[in-house]
Amino acid sequence: MVCPRCLKVVRSVLEEAGLTIEDIQLGKATVEEKLTEQQLQGISSALQAEGFLLIDDKKQQLVAAIKNIVVETVHYSELDEMRENFSTLLAGKLQKDYHYLSSLFSEMEGVTIEQYIIQQKIERVKELLEYNELSLSEISYKMGYSSVAHLSAQFKKVTGLTPSQYKQLKTPNRIPLDKL
């Protein structure tokens, strides 16, 4: 789950299954009931029909939690106000050693956490460029980059285009967050 609409869909699936939801967050839902294997299969099928996977493996759950924290932080927080780096944030929120999280993520996803964060930040920058409400300098600051030059260099490295060239595209090529 990577957005508020995702939460709404998952909530709907769980409610249709007659479950009482205790808590629902990006990447995690807690229900009051103890589920049978048949209920889990039904929920899994319903979620798959909506484009979601029910993750029951502990390592996959941890990787999903890392992704959700990164997405939530990059897309729904003010990075310029972030007082700690991502390694400290992830280790603190997940109560795990960052080196373990990093190794696990790389092993299971084939990219480092840092590369994943950069991909997310670039997608957010693309979104902000399309809105055309902020200058590149303002976007750079908002996204926590040290300078416009750093943002531009990273943007070009990832997309092959400068931010200005991207803005001129008639059909922007943004990648859905759940595909990163």
Number of domains in the chain: 3
Residues 93, 131, single domain; the answer is: no
Residues 65, 20, single domain; the answer is: no
Residues 106, 79, single domain; the answer is: yes
CATH classification of the domain holding 144: 1.10.10.60
In whole angstroms, give the CA distance from residue 171 to residue 82: 32
Residues 135, 175, single domain; the answer is: yes
Residues 84, 99, single domain; the answer is: yes
The pLDDT value recorded for residue 52 is 83
Residues 172, 131, single domain; the answer is: yes
Residues 95, 140, single domain; the answer is: no
The pLDDT value recorded for residue 1 is 44
Residues 160, 132, single domain; the answer is: yes
Residue 76: burial class (beta carbons within 10 Å; 0-12, 13-18, 19+): exposed
**Which of left, alpha, beta for 160 (phi over 0: left; psi -120 to 50: alpha)?**
left
The residue range of the domain holding 11 is: 4-49
Residues 120, 175, single domain; the answer is: yes
The pLDDT value recorded for residue 151 is 97
The pLDDT value recorded for residue 101 is 97
Show Cβ contacts of residue 94 under 8 Å, excluding neighbours closer than 6 positions. 62, 65, 66, 69, 101
The pLDDT value recorded for residue 37 is 86
Among the candidates 68, 92, 111, a domain finishes at: 111
The pLDDT value recorded for residue 57 is 79
24 forms beta bridges with 29
Instruction: Decide: pTM greater than 0.75.
Output: no
In whole angstroms, give the CA distance from residue 63 to residue 101: 8
Residues 88, 131, single domain; the answer is: no
Residues 26, 73, single domain; the answer is: no
Residue ranges of the chain with per-residue pLDDT less than 70? 1-2, 26, 172-180
Among the candidates 74, 90, 111, a domain finishes at: 111
The C-alpha R_g of the chain, in whole angstroms, comes to 18
Instruction: Find the DSSP H helices in 17-112.
Output: 37-49, 58-76, 86-94, 98-109
Note whether 70 and 86 are within 8 A (CB).
yes
The pLDDT value recorded for residue 24 is 85
